[in-house]
Amino acid sequence: MRAHVFPDYEAMSTAAADAVAQSLEEEPSTVLMLPTGITPLGMYRRLVEMHRTEGLSFAGATFFNLDEYLGLTPDHEASYHVYMKENFYGLIDADPARIFVPDGTASDPEVECERYEAAIAEAGGIDVGVLGIGRNGHIGFNEPGARFDSRTRVVELSESTRKINAADFEADRAPGRAITVGMATIFASSAVVLLASGTNKAGAVAAAVEGDVSESMPASMLRNHPNASLFLDEDAASDLGQGVAG
Ligand code: F6R
């Protein structure tokens, strides 16, 4: 796993957008896996700008989102369907037939997870997986303890994640369950780029990079990946090299 430290959030976001753009330029039918949250917003803004001003096309690409809350309709304002439409898919030339976001309202969520895994396989697997990281080290909604051999499934969110994500909801906590792409599904991506910004990610970043490779720190799994990169701003990198216990 290679860590790249950029001076600030904008520089990190530009580098992330450049990495995605490069894969699209080399292979227009690239299969991308994408996160939501605060961290990737700068990357999406830059990719939209590249689409508008530099002719970057996404028309041949396939998109899989990492996760969605269970129980939220695709038009719920806090759903990841709406987030992606407003911040990315609705602003580029993506083919709607090749946009996949887990259906949080599926009558049988287990079947939905199997369908999602099958769709990824059908697309030929993920070429580039872009990830954020939770303060507890989660990737997708794979919370600490998620098995490295897990596939797309229904998960319980930790109390800390529900509180951090509460800002998107009227309640004081986010929904308790979600569908997430699994750890093994992420690991099978040909390339992974994990983005982290801000001092509140520094502890998780240091533990993932310098602590044990352990299911209690999901992002540490990427250390065993042959082509995983960390794109960090200086704040997110600020605990690196200071010694990490576990
Ligand atoms: C969201 C996702 C999560 C986030 C993580 C960081 O689709 O997969 O793992 O990437 O919770 O979120 P932010 O960027 O809001 O700090």
Residue to probe by mutation, ligand 1, list 39, 83, 126, 195, most atoms within 8 Å of CB: 39
Does 104 fall in a domain? yes
Q: Ligand 1 centre from 42 Cα, in Å?
A: 13
* CB of residue 66 inside a 6 A radius of ligand 1: yes
Is residue 88, in this structure, part of any structural domain at all?
A: yes
Q: How confident is the model at residue 246 (pLDDT cuts 50, 70, 90)?
A: very low
Q: What is the mean pLDDT of the chain?
A: 96
Rounded to whole angstroms, how far apart are CA atoms 47 and 139?
22
pLDDT digits (tens, 9 = 90+) for 118-131: 999 999 999 999 99
By DSSP bridging, strand 153-156 and strand 177-180 are: antiparallel
Residue 238 within any structural domain of the chain? no
Residue 99 falls within a domain, yes or no?
A: yes
Within a domain: residue 171? Answer: yes
Residue of 196, 79, 83 lying closest to 138 (CA atoms): 196
* Total domains present in the chain: 1
Percent residues over pLDDT 70 in the chain: 98
In this predicted model, what pLDDT tens digit does every residue of 11-52 receive, in sequence order? 999 999 999 999 999 999 999 999 999 999 999 999 999 999
CATH number at residue 112: 3.40.50.1360
36 lines ligand 1 (CB under 6 A): yes
How many beta carbons lie within 10 A of that of residue 233, not counting itself? 24
Three-state SS letters, 148-163: CCCCCEEEECCHHHHH
139 lines ligand 1 (CB under 6 A): yes
Please report which confidence band the pLDDT of residue 243 belongs to, taking 50, 70 and 90 as the band edges. Answer: low
pLDDT of residue 65: 98
The residue segments making up the domain with residue 155 are: 2-233
Ligand 1, atom 10: nearest CA belongs to which residue?
Answer: 132
Q: Is the CB of 218 under 6 A from ligand 1?
A: no
28: how many CB neighbours lie within 10 A of its CB?
A: 12
Query: What whole-number distance in Å separates Cα of residue 173 and Cα of residue 153?
Result: 21
Q: Specify the range with the lowest mean pLDDT, choosing from 61-70, 169-178, 185-194, 231-240.
A: 169-178
Report if residue 81 sits inside a domain. yes
Examine residue 242 and state whether it is found in any structural domain, yes or no: no
Whether 210 is in a domain gets the answer yes
**Atom 11 of ligand 1 has which residue's CA nearest to it?**
134
Q: Do 137 and 218 meet the contact criterion of CB atoms below 8 Å apart?
A: yes
Q: Which strands form 2-6's sheet, in the order they lie side by side?
A: 2-6, 228-233, 191-196, 128-131, 31-34, 62-65, 99-100
Residue 193: which pLDDT band, with cuts at 50, 70 and 90?
very high
User: Which atom of ligand 1 is the closest one to the Cα of 67?
Assistant: 7
Locate the ligand 1 atom nearest the alpha carbon of residue 200 and give its number.
16
Residue-wise pLDDT for 63-113, tens only, equals 999 999 999 999 999 999 999 999 999 999 999 999 999 999 999 999 999
> What is the structure's pLDDT at 240?
96
